[in-house]
Structure 1
């Protein structure tokens, strides 16, 4: 019998090591195909077989996977990071080799946020009013039609990159200039989605196939950007509110043809009720899988791998806790002089994980997206009040110093 291998297309700073570790626990041989494997430090730490391959070239990947099939029974998945097209490629590879995986057509339609909105609207799913534009004049006209404030975001993108709330005409003009002046890195031909600002609490619904696994709540930093500050599972909801969010989320999946594997649906509860903000046809790349595992004992990464390998997954809850994460986000740009207190924070009872991403002498340049975070703290306990207290105490033990660029003689 051939040995089983899990082929991972590219990697991920957060979820990548978890997939590798879960694969090993399942007796699988993890193999990463990457244009530049050195980008992912955990590959060396975990001693993962890494093969240099052009992941933008489907034919090259088909050739490499064909070679691997001579020695292994394969399952194929991967990570959608800055370049969302990677997960579309995963779907195409799975189709090529007749392996379990996502529908690449559904994934591709979902990653185009304008197409996604059209499909959701056609199915009657409540969403913010929206328009699409290709130049500054079209953006201004759309904003005037929808009424300020509006949110501008690239039609293709992730991690809140290029996303901003524009509360007046000056902020609108400033952000349009940023997006279209060459400062923003576009992953597709430049198109801007303009949408009404849906005000209200934000929730994330995580699903596997057609089953809702968990619903969490998220808090963000001050406008105009949407940088996550906290995430907590479960969200504080009544039974009726839970059912309402779950029903809308499943309607989203049906509208987008997402019937296989993990997905994450972002919603806001507005004055007119819940509206769908965005559907991500994959596991979220933040700390959500770890929080769900701590809260319920459901390991979404392991169960996703089981699906990839053609096995049944088990989404039954093993326990009930409250798990929460605090992201460490600096309030200024400059040079990070030092950061400390993480060991003391990790030693606090109830703290499940502390990780610092940035190292001393690192330049801090905030862009209002997921890369602004320099670390995180995760806590879990049997109840919400206790978890929040643990998280607040542990995060308060971590401090850092940043020297502003101007103080260094910059402009």
Structure 2
């Protein structure tokens, strides 16, 4: 193994940490900006040095997904795989993977039109949570507390042109403490976890939630690894909530997971774990 490549579209602290850790372990690194690359189907040889394995770290889900597809066409090992990125990037696909593998998750309902969603809610009742099937950082995730809220949210959706807005993803509202848990999994290990504490509805760090180190219990690790395997495994961020009646439930698995904040307090060296996993994945 001589070189590891990190593909990005915005050079953040995480990508710099990965580069530094790889070089400290004795590996050459190449840092490639996906925005300025040109690939084609004429040849599997390119002008870019992708090394022996690529860590795909694009902020843009669609850019990263399509870039990963090209890398797999070129027979270049990439983490995470295209199938994993696909499963994690769409909340409906992800939830179906969790359910198929019997990972505890909130009850979720799908409708494919405004009218279908209204009928679904008439049977289920309120409150519920509506989420866009594609999106990050809590954007578009809203509580539906009553029919008036539903009417307002659905009206806005009908005015947009986004094809994914025609998919209505409705999830039960979990009775939880004012926090959730983010677990970073690398292969079959949970390498770090934190509480994301917020008095508001959303617990995203990007929206102001406060991080706090979370002890990785056997229950948390087992559930996180089971969730990771359900979508195909790799380097992932597993989000779970503490339901007062059901216990831990997984509500999301993230593909290109951020880890800067958690790295400051985690007991293990998260970027080092990621680099070593990438190297070992192509040595097998």
Range class of TM-score, shorter chain: 0.7 to 0.9
Structure 1 pair 210/187, CA: closer, same or farther in 2 (3 Å)? farther
Aligned equivalent of 1:280, options 254, 260, 267: 254
Mapping of residues 94-109 of structure 1, within 5 Å: 94=72, 96-99=74-77, 101-109=79-87
Larger RCO: Structure 1 or Structure 2 (Cα < 8 Å, ≥ 6 residues apart)?
A: 2
Partner residue of 1:49? none
Aligned equivalent of 1:308, options 257, 278, 282: 278
Cα deviations across residues 241-281 of structure 1 (Å, max 9, x unaligned)?
x22222222221222221x3x11111111122111111113
Structure 1 pair 13/144, CA: closer, same or farther in 2 (3 Å)? farther
Determine whether 1:53 maps to 2:27.
Answer: no
Partner residue of 1:142? 120
Partner residue of 2:155? 177
Q: Structure 2 length normalisation: TM-score? A: 0.82
Structure 1 pair 187/223, CA: closer, same or farther in 2 (3 Å)? same
Determine whether 1:77 maps to 2:55.
Answer: yes
Query: 1:76 offset after TM fit, Å?
Result: 1.6
Determine whether 1:233 maps to 2:213.
Answer: yes
Mapping of residues 199-214 of structure 1, within 5 Å: 199-201=175-177, 202-214=180-192
More moved, 244-253 vs 23-32: 23-32
Mapping of residues 7-406 of structure 1, within 5 Å: 7-26=6-25, 27-35=27-35, 52-53=36-37, 59=40, 66-69=46-49, 73-84=51-62, 86-87=64-65, 89-90=67-68, 93-94=71-72, 96-99=74-77, 101-182=79-160, 186=162, 188=164, 190-201=166-177, 202-223=180-201, 227-235=207-215, 242-258=217-233, 260=234, 262-270=235-243, 271-283=245-257, 285=258, 288-296=259-267, 298-310=268-280
Gaps of 5+ in 2: none
Cα deviations across residues 82-126 of structure 1 (Å, max 9, x unaligned)?
435514633651563242533312321232211221221122221
RMSD: 3.2
What is the aligned length? 277
Q: Structure 1 length normalisation: TM-score? A: 0.59
Structure 1 pair 252/64, CA: closer, same or farther in 2 (3 Å)? same
Give distance in 2, aligned partners of 1:172 and 1:266.
26
Gaps of 5+ in 1: 36-51, 314-411
